A and B are shown apart, each in its own frame.
Chain A
Amino acid sequence: MIISVASGKGGTGKTTIAANLALALAQNVQFLDCDVEEPNGHIFIKPEIEKTTTIGTPIPVVDEGKCTYCGKCQKICEYNAIAVILKNVLVFPELCHSCAGCWLICHENAISTRDRELGVLEQGKANGIDFVHGRLRLGEAMSPPLIRRVQQQLDMSKTIIIDSPPGTSCPVIQAVKHSDFVILVAEPTPFGLNDLKLAVEMVRTLKLPLGVVINRSDIGNENVRNYCQMEGIDILMEIKNDRKIAEAYSRGIPLIEIEPDYADRFRELYAQVERRVAR
């Protein structure tokens, strides 16, 4: 089973939920941190990294000896990543989406490829959890291809927990689209409600089942709960606003370590998800 933990906006406690859920199960679990722009799961899961792989994406290299400057590559490229100017072919690596169009269309076989580095993939273990995350190279704009690589590590024999990137656009879609269930984390504030509505719309676009966890449940107002009730969305769990929890978080200490009662609550959260997926 694949459970994604997502939110319309970062900083709502998404990583707290994902990491503690993994730590509470701690058996036959795989944790994939797909928030490759800001991977934070490792701070709480504390895996021993066993394998680091540099991930690249192919971009064109033009052999001007073979090139006839026909301009076909420029014409097919939707991203203006390759341009033929007089007797020169220019490649703009950071604009290239690796669609392969230019080297498929080039009749002169003048285009080979090299890799542009997207970032690194790190894999390791921590008490019963298989851990995988990607870390986007600074200055790299495209995260979805790296997220795709993190997801290729999926081990379907395990319970998979995905810490998704925040938002509702391409990176999140890439992260959550294969899930069996999406847990959305929200705060009961006006910003929180606004972000939750966007996230719900996103999950519904993908036609996936979802439930909500309310974090810092005693701040703000009742509007998030009212919204969930109106929309028929189940609230699976609530976590109080507690300075002790916030301080532990700030030091990278998992919630279930300072409040051991929560271990059962996270296992109950898992059981609830399981029941809903089985339905």
Chain B
Amino acid sequence: MKEIVIISGKGGTGKTTITAALASLVKNNVIADCDVDAADLHLILNPDIRQQEDFFSGKTAFIRQGDCTQCGKCVEVCHFDAISPDFVVDPVSCEGCGVCVAFCPAYAIDFNQNLCGQWFISKTRFGSLVHAKLGIAEENSGKLVSLVRKQAKQMAKKENAEYIIVDGAPGVGCPVISSITGASAVIVVTEPTLSGLHDMKRVVSLAGDFFQLSTFLCVNKADLNPDITEKMMEFCDTNGVHFAGRVPYDESTTRAMVEGKNIFEFKPGPAAAAIREIWAEVEDTLRGNKN
């Protein structure tokens, strides 16, 4: 079983569009949406939810005013400025460290687990999907990402799936680290812009140098700036990154999205053809037919 994670560094490069395309191209796969903060994949996959579970993680302090003697100890020990001068905890600032709870001489502080979101197991027309929704303003997205991947792995074992296709989280911080740790390969989807180049280098070095993962690069809307696309290919050459291919700008991509279809189902244009080639390249490399 191979777990392929599609990430982007910067958002909006077409990561989810390409994930949705790969999900239909790769037969015998389980799909996981780890972009739990702003999940979009379900808009294309139209999941039929079969199982729904609550996700609890982290805790928040709550001061019972009736028991509080206003001694001020909690304000003094809270390193996150989460407690107001009149001893009310701001749940948004509270990091759930529990230090105030441990130090309160009056035992006046409750410390309960937060309901941070939900996760789901669904059926879709391209295979089983594990996905999640993080509550607004919640933390611990990294833990929810790990949970989604764990469930997807169990599902893949049960179904004897060859691949898990993962829509990874954006950025280079906690959720993306949780998305890629221990994966079989990472496909970075980027755009040929200066910001794209900048972010791509950061996320490639995170995946390749830091986590030693087999890394592929795919340049979306490659024709927007051929010079930068060229630079990105050179970067791959000198940094041990597999260049998986270019996807041309194709306005049917947005039109497919509006209709809730992936690009193969809509009207396969140049972008669809390019993604087919990219997958062939990735699969060949992973099977060791190429290096």
Q: Report Cα–Cα, A276/B141, bound state, in Å.
A: 33
> Do A37 and B12 have beta carbons less than 8 Å apart?
no
Given contacts A43-B198, A139-B210, A169-B137, A78 and B11 within 8 Å (CB-CB):
no
Within 8 A of B (CB), among A130-160: 136, 138-143
CB-contacts of B17-50 with A (<8 A): 37-38, 40, 43
Residues 98-139 of chain A: 1 if any B CB is under 8 Å from the residue's CB, otherwise 0?
A: 111100110000000000000000000000000000001011
| A74 CB → nearest B CB, Å | 12
Residues of B within 8 A of A219 (CB): 251, 254
Q: Tell whether, in the assembled complex, residue B9 and residue A38 are in contact, meaning their CB atoms are under 8 Å apart.
A: yes
Decide if B202 is an interface residue (CB 8 Å cutoff): yes
State whether the Cβ of B127 lies closer than 8 Å to any Cβ in chain A. no
Q: A252: which B residues are within 8 A, CB to CB?
A: 193-195
- B173→A142 contact, CB < 8 A: yes
Chain A residues near B192 (CB, 8 Å)? 250
Question: Is A191 in contact with chain B by the CB < 8 A criterion?
Answer: yes
Q: Which interface residue of B102, B254, B258 has the most chain A CB atoms within 10 A? A: B254
Contacts of B198 in A (CB 8 A): 38, 40, 43
Inter-chain contact A168/B137, CB cutoff 8 Å: yes
Most buried by A among B97, B141, B198: B97
Given A43-B198, A198-B136, A78 and B98 touching (CB < 8 A)?
yes
- Residues B177 and A141 in contact, CB atoms below 8 Å apart: yes
A76 CB-CB contact with B under 8 Å: yes
Interface presence of A68 (CB below 8 A): no
> Contact between A10 and B12 (Cβ–Cβ < 8 Å)?
yes
CB distance from B168 to the nearest CB of A (A): 13
Query: Per a CB cutoff under 8 Å, which of B10, B142, B258 touches A10?
Result: B10
Stretch in contact with the other chain, from A170-178, A230-238, A261-269: A170-178
CB distance from A60 to the nearest CB of B (A): 13
| Nearest-Cβ distance from residue A81 to partner chain B, whole angstroms | 10
Closest Cβ–Cβ distance, residue B73 to chain A (whole Å): 10
| Complex interface: chain B residues within 8 A of A209 (CB) | none
Give the number of residue pairs across the A-B interface with Cβ within 8 Å: 172
B107 at the interface (CB under 8 A from A): no
At the interface, yes or no: B274 with Cβ under 8 Å from chain A? no
The digit string for B132-154, where 1 denotes a CB below 8 A from any CB of A, is 00101111011000000000000
Contact indicator B225/A191 (Cβ below 8 Å): no
Known contacts A190-B257, A250-B228; is-contact A136 B173 (Cβ 8 Å): yes
Q: How many residues of A contact B (CB 8 A)?
A: 57
Whether B173 lies near A9 (C-beta < 8 A) is no
A-chain residues with CB within 8 Å of residue B10 when the two chains form the complex: 10-11, 38, 40
For B, the interface residue count at a CB cutoff of 8 angstroms equals 57
Contact A191 B257 (CB under 8 A): yes
Select from chain A the residue with minimum beta-carbon distance to B102: A76
Query: Quick one: which of A11, A166, A246 contacts B224, CB cutoff 8 A?
Result: A246
Q: Which residues of A contact B225 (CB under 8 A)?
A: 247, 250-251
Which residues of chain B are near A138, meaning CB under 8 Å?
Answer: 172, 202, 205-206, 209-210
A100 touches B77 (CB 8 A): yes
A205-253 residues with Cβ-Cβ distance < 8 A to B are 205-206, 219-221, 243, 246-247, 249-252
Q: Is A30 an interface residue (CB 8 A)?
A: no
Given A138-B205, A220-B254, A190 contacting B43 (CB threshold 8 A)? yes
B245 at the interface (CB under 8 A from A): no
Apart from A11-B191, A169-B37, A247-B225, list 12 A-B contacts with CB within 8 A: A10-B10, A10-B171, A98-B79, A166-B38, A167-B170, A168-B137, A169-B137, A170-B137, A170-B138, A191-B257, A194-B43, A250-B192
Residues of A within 8 A of B (CB): 8-12, 15, 37-38, 40, 43, 76, 78-79, 97-101, 104-105, 136, 138-143, 165-171, 173, 177, 187, 189-191, 194-195, 198, 201-202, 205-206, 219-221, 243, 246-247, 249-252
6 A-B pairs with the lowest CB-CB distances in the bound complex, closest first: A11-B12, A10-B11, A99-B97, A250-B193, A37-B171, A141-B174
B-side interface residues toward A, CB under 8 Å? 8-13, 16, 37-38, 40, 43, 59, 77, 79-80, 92, 95-99, 102-103, 134, 136-139, 141-142, 170-174, 177, 191-196, 198-199, 202, 205-206, 209-210, 224-225, 228, 251, 254, 257-258, 260
Cβ contacts A to B, 12 pairs, < 8 Å: A9-B12, A37-B173, A101-B99, A138-B205, A141-B174, A143-B171, A166-B38, A169-B141, A189-B258, A195-B38, A206-B137, A250-B192
